[in-house]
Structure 1
């Protein structure tokens, strides 16, 4: 897969502000939501045996590593709230279902050779947000 190990930098986004403000209102405080909106992350996906590692570098240069095996449920803290998530893989599409008591957020990442398209939805929100990343 030609996209493994490449760094994808945020290029543009559609409706992301509305997504964060609508969906994270019950999950995270205003400061956290504004930080999400302002952040222009870089992602890198690496295959590790049976699993994967998604490396994230945020605008403030902080780093995050998310190790996962497809179909296995993990715990995660988002905006101070506990959540459970599972990631499934279908070819070049990685879909993460993040479950909070307030609802489920779905993050679908479609990796291509030189572009990453990330689509955000939530069962408690009727909209869709998309962020586009380029190598």
Structure 2
């Protein structure tokens, strides 16, 4: 788990605009999420913190792996669960009429984020490199 505590900077996307289209994310909101960084840390109490930062947006989640909680998002409240298995952190967000699954695959030097949603048959991928 050498990736813990490292900051990963966004480098490129595949199908990300189509993913956002499927969720009907407006253009103004899309700019907020451009060029983010991601960092995952293990806290002394055994919880984890996922920190996502971009020039106009920040998001911090402290969680226990496998434990569901209510998350307030721009799309409303979701039942969210983060599960860490080895080097893969899977986040499932269940909204009343759709779901989003975000799979983060960490290595020492890279982070690959795969995004799927129940509103779209495609797959989007975001790539990050260790800072």
Looking at structure 2, the residues matched to 71 and 5 of structure 1 have their Cα atoms a distance apart, in angstroms, of: 20
Aligned to 2:28: 31
Tell me the CA shift for residue 30 of structure 1: 4.9
Instruction: Show the counterpart of 2:113.
Output: 118
Structure 1 length-normalised TM: 0.88
Aligned counterpart, 1:8? 8
Structure 1: distance between partners of 2:123 and 2:8: 21
Q: 1: CA distance between counterparts of 2:18 and 2:75?
A: 20
Q: Is there any run of 5+ residues in structure 2 with no aligned partner, and where?
A: none
Whole-angstrom distance in 2 between the partners of 1:129 and 1:80? 19
Q: Provide the aligned length of Structure 1 versus Structure 2.
A: 129
Q: Distance in 1 between matches of 2:89 and 2:13?
A: 19
Moved over 2 A (4+): 28-32
User: RMSD of the alignment, in Å?
Assistant: 1.6
Q: Distance in 1 between matches of 2:74 and 2:89?
A: 22
Query: 2:61 corresponds to which residue?
Result: 66
Normalising by structure 2, what TM-score?
0.90
Gaps of 5+ in 1: none
Tell me which protein shows more helix as a share of its residues: 1
